[in-house]
Structures are given as C-alpha cells and as structure tokens.
Amino acid sequence: MKRQSIFFTLLTSALLVALGIAFSVGLSQAQGPAPEGHLSVQGNVGTAFLYRGRLMDNGHPANGSYDFRFKLYDAETGGTQVGSTLTQDDISVSNGLFVVTLDFGDRAFNGEARWLEVAVRPGDSTGSYTTLSPRQPVLPVPYALALPGLRVEQNDTSPNLIGGYSGNRVTDGVAGATIGGDWRAMRATSCLLWT
C-alpha cells in the first residue's frame, strides 16, 4: 500500500511538471517573437472629430450639395472665436443629414465650454453664407481630446503631458516631459508649512 502511494505521488508530480512545461511553452509561443529594431510611435491621434448635422430647407430635409462654414466660440452668443474658420465646399446632404470632419487644432479644447457656429449656402455658390441659429454646444465626445486641466503636446518621438496650472509650458525641443502642479499652490502650501 505504501509503495502504491509513493507511485501515485511520483506520477502526479511528473504530470504536474509536464503540464507546467507545456503551459509555459504554449504561452511563449502565443506571444510570438520579440519585435526587432527601435519601437516608435506609429501615429498621433490628432485633434479632428466628426460633426453630424441635420439641415432643413423651408421646414423640409435638405437634399443636394451645400457649402458649410464652421466657427468655434467660447460662448453660446457673442463671445470670442476660438481657432480658425473652417470651410467645406460641396458637402453632400441627403434627407437633411450630412457628416463633416472638423479640426480646430490642438489649442481649441482647453477644458472650457465651446459652441459651434454653422453657416451654409447652396453648393457651387459664391453668395453669402446663412448663419444657422442657435450655436451648437460641443459635448464630451470631441471634448475628450482634452481632459480637464490636462493637455498633450504631440511630437515625433514622445508626447509631452502637461497638467496643473494653465500657464505650465514645455520649451521647444523637449520630448517626453510630464509637468503637473501649480507653482502658486506650492508656494502657498510652503508658506502655510513655515508659519
């Protein structure tokens, strides 16, 4: 009986070792060969986003080709324009629906509210644009390009991650920097610690 128990213990141990070896070989095979050469960023995400709109013409869904002009503002009415004016000509509108790609640049979204002003005219027209009302609020999905209080400055090798005080900056030529905090808050904290 004792001999049979030793045999089963050895057999179980051998099976567990064989299973462990097979499992580790399988894992290493699943991962494939290590990449060769220097790893680098394949491409930046960019700052463009899709805008899907609905255009009505005298109460009916518009159809045809239209020219659009887009402006980004810091207020629902009045306010200051943020970024440049974007125009897109001869955009196809079907049953009132259209889609355009907009890119106001990497400084347009800084954590503050934004509104999109849309103006339109018939395609192949040189006449003036009709500004649509009201301005459309830019909601979280395109706004996710900038986390509140955090921005990323892309470059060819490594992005600079900048947070904290809105005046934090990265000197030209710096890559891979992470900046956080607010020197004003740090100074105030030190004053409290030393008084």
User: How far is the CA of 113 from the CAs of 136, 143, 179, 189, in angstroms?
Assistant: 11, 9, 24, 30
Structure tokens at 80: 């200051």
Distance of CA 6 to the CA centre of its chain: 62
Predicted TM-score (pTM) above 0.75:
no
Q: Which residue has 């509140």 as its token pair?
A: 148
Q: Per this entry, what is the length of the chain?
A: 195
Q: Which H or E element spans position 52?
A: strand 49-54
**What pLDDT does 177 receive?**
59
Domain with CATH 2.60.40 in the chain: 49-143
The secondary structure element, H or E, covering residue 70 is strand 64-73
**pLDDT beneath 70: ranges in the chain:** 1-45, 140-195
* Contact (CB, 8 A) for 179 and 168: yes
- Per-residue model confidence (pLDDT) at position 178: 61
**Do residues 82 and 74 make contact, with C-beta atoms less than 8 angstroms apart?**
yes
> Residue 45: what pLDDT?
63
Assigned CATH for 49-143: 2.60.40
